[in-house]
Amino acid sequence: MKTTETPAPVPAESGTGVRRTGAPAVREPRRTKQEGGVLNVFSHGILVTWAIMVVMPLVWAVMTSFKDDRSIFSSPWSLPDRLHFENWARAWTDARMSDYFLNTVLVVGGSLVGTLVLGSMAAYVLARFDFPGNRFIYYLFVGGMGFPVMLALVPLFYVVDNIALLNTIHGLILVYIAYSLPFTVFFLTAFFRSLPTTVAEAAFVDGASHTRTFFQIMLPMARPGLVSVGIFNFLGQWNQYMLPTVLNTDPDKHVLTQGLVQLAVNQGYKGDWSGLFAGLVMAMLPVLAAYIVFQRQVVQGLTAGALK
């Protein structure tokens, strides 16, 4: 009886990067530590430079808001001698920043809720149901993202005026919702497509309706996407200036961006630069706080579809 012995594999030679197993030798490419170190230094240098360019103007604006007018021009880069909280109080009361802030909260809050509710419902239908015209409607929303809002300002003004919503808070809310829906539907449609269908099918088997399945099952599962698109819409609506300038000319109903412009114009007569910087920081703080609080959810929402 003849037995066949299997030859033992020959270990790879150290330092050569070649493994000998009886097969043709294949040399594995290796990256030296020097190349990786240079790349890390370059990438970290770019990130540090970008962080300085973003953070320094913000820090300087906050620091300047606590100075008096003389210190702003005599020593613009030095720390304030003391914290002048009266700048903030003066901007909040005398410059009517409190009224502008309240109007902005009402407009952005109402439009953000309406955008997320309507956008998620439309995106869910487009992502989960096949019907004639599905792709056509979807591409209409996609096309709306590329339509310049400046081309629609004049007809939009007459449309809003004809339905008696000019210079009103709820009229501005409706315009903000229509302005934000294309991107919201585009973003959430891709997100709903990435969610598993087995959970919704199990709910239908148990007798749940489409409405209950959407609001109690699918919408909570889409929370990362809702938070992400909500942050983007919040930033865009909070900093919106063109639409309220055209559709909201009543000084008592101005939003924060209009109030900042009015405060800047008044500097030609009063020279209250410390109050201007205080009002500027007031407008930036809600946006910065929202991103700091929800930054993890934003990253999860942006990467959820790719990871699935």
pLDDT tens by residue, 137-155: 999 999 988 888 888 889 9
Is residue 23 assigned to a domain?
no
Determine whether 73 is exposed, middle or buried from the number of CB atoms within 10 Å of its CB (0-12, 13-18, 19+): exposed
Domain housing 55: 35-64
Please report, as a single letter, which amino acid is at residue 71. S
What is the per-residue pLDDT across 294-305, written as a single tens digit (0 to 9) for each?
A: 777 766 666 655
Average pLDDT, the chain: 82
**Together in a domain, 191 and 269:** yes
256 falls within a domain: yes
Co-location of 215 and 299 in the same domain: yes
One domain, residues 104 and 183: yes
Number of neighbouring beta carbons within 10 Å of residue 270: 13
Nearest to 254 by CA among 114, 96, 111: 96
Which value, in Å, is the radius of gyration of the alpha carbons in the chain? 29
In angstroms, the CA 149 to CA 296 distance is 31
Res 26: pLDDT = 53
Q: Where are the alpha helices (DSSP H) in the chain?
A: 33-64, 69-74, 86-93, 97-128, 134-145, 153-162, 169-194, 198-205, 210-213, 219-221, 223-238, 242-247, 256-265, 273-307
Q: Please, is 236 exposed, middle or buried when counting C-beta atoms within 10 Å of its C-beta (0-12, 13-18, 19+)?
A: middle
pLDDT < 50 regions, the chain? 1-6, 10, 12-21, 306-308
Please say whether the beta carbons of 111 and 176 come within 8 A. Answer: yes
Q: How many domains does the chain have?
A: 2
Do 93 and 44 lie in a common domain?
no
193, 287: one domain: yes
58 and 123, same domain (yes or no):
no
- Say yes or no: 52 and 201 in one domain: no
CATH number (domain holding residue 131):
1.10.3720.10
CB 12 within 8 A of CB 20: yes
Residues 104 and 182 in one domain: yes
- Residue 277 near residue 87 (C-beta atoms within 8 A): yes
Q: Are 54 and 98 part of one and the same domain?
A: no
Tokens of residue 160, six digits:
């809003």
118, 242: one domain = yes
> How far, in Å, CA of 45 to CA of 27, rounded?
33
Any domain includes 21: no
Has residue 30 been placed in a domain? no
C-alpha to C-alpha distance for 128 and 190, rounded to whole angstroms:
11
Query: How many angstroms separate the CA atoms of 184 and 75, rounded?
Result: 46
- Using DSSP's 3-state secondary structure scheme, residue 31 falls into coil
Which two tokens mark 192? 């709903």
CA–CA dist 211, 219 (Å, integer): 11
My answer on whether 157 and 54 are in the same domain is no
Q: Is residue 269 part of a domain?
A: yes
Q: Are residues 40 and 94 in the same domain?
A: no
Is 71 within a domain? Answer: no
Amino acid type, 285: L
* Residue 27 belongs to some domain of the structure: no
The reply to whether 193 falls in a domain is yes
